[in-house]
Amino acid sequence: MKKWLIVVVFALLVALGAYFFTHFSTHAESSTPASQTNAQDSQNLLNLDNVTLLDFQSQPTKLSALAKGKKIYLIAWASWCPYCLASLEELDSLSKEQNDDFIVLSVVSPNQRGEKEMEKFKEWFEGLEYKNLIVLFDTQGAILKRAQIFGYPTHLFLDPKANVRHKAPGAMSSESAKEILREI
């Protein structure tokens, strides 16, 4: 009797996990490359410019104000995520590059999904060697919710008006990010 119950519970957990994985990981991304988006599609794009973020000095800002007419490479990450931490050096180097076409921004969501409080995060991040990477704070988790971010890291590629043109969860190299940005 116990073996049968364990098998049933295990099967239900596997089915539930498969459902959430397929439902949330495939519906969040578009299968259409950014370069194939036409003017009609732009009316249906998710725009993140109305989300108020805080900069490292706790001042409110908008993505378009930071982008100043450039495309935006936005990385949602968390301090507890090993893949995120492993990519920080490469993101910092990419941020340091002088680029007239795009800006690299990162966003963390304090007190959301296991992230530290904002002041504790700031203290922790200031102790790291990454001085070129711009960190923004989404204190309400608005980007997580609106862009349907279910895991870290998640890379969002936005046009200069802060419309999401491409979304990619998981680890990504700078070269892959640059290729996506060229397509936008």
Q: What are the pLDDT digits (tens) for 93-135?
A: 999 987 889 999 999 999 999 999 999 999 999 999 999 999 9
Which two structure tokens, joined as six digits, stand for 1?
């009797």
Count of other CB atoms within 10 angstroms of residue 157: 21
pLDDT at position 11: 56
Give residue-wise pLDDT tens across range 56-104: 999 999 998 898 999 999 999 999 999 999 999 999 999 998 788 999 9
Which two structure tokens, joined as six digits, stand for 2?
């116990």
Using pLDDT thresholds of 50, 70 and 90, give the confidence band for residue 140: very high
**Residue 68 has what DSSP assignment?**
T
Which two structure tokens, joined as six digits, stand for 75?
């990385």
67 against 34, higher pLDDT: 67
Please tell me the number of Cα atoms within 13 Å of 131 on its side-chain side: 1
32 has a pLDDT exceeding 70 = no
State the first-to-last Cα distance of the chain, in angstroms, to the nearest integer: 58
158 against 10, higher pLDDT: 158
**Residue 29 has what DSSP assignment?**
S
pLDDT at position 64: 87
User: Is the preceding peptide bond at 33 cis, omega within 30 degrees of 0?
Assistant: no
pLDDT at position 97: 87
* Tokens 């349907």 sit on residue: 148
Using pLDDT thresholds of 50, 70 and 90, give the confidence band for residue 43: low
64 against 164, higher pLDDT: 164
* In the chain, alpha helices (H): 2-26, 39-42, 63-67, 82-96, 118-126, 142-146, 174-183
Q: How far apart are CA 133 and CA 147, in angstroms?
A: 21
63 against 10, higher pLDDT: 63
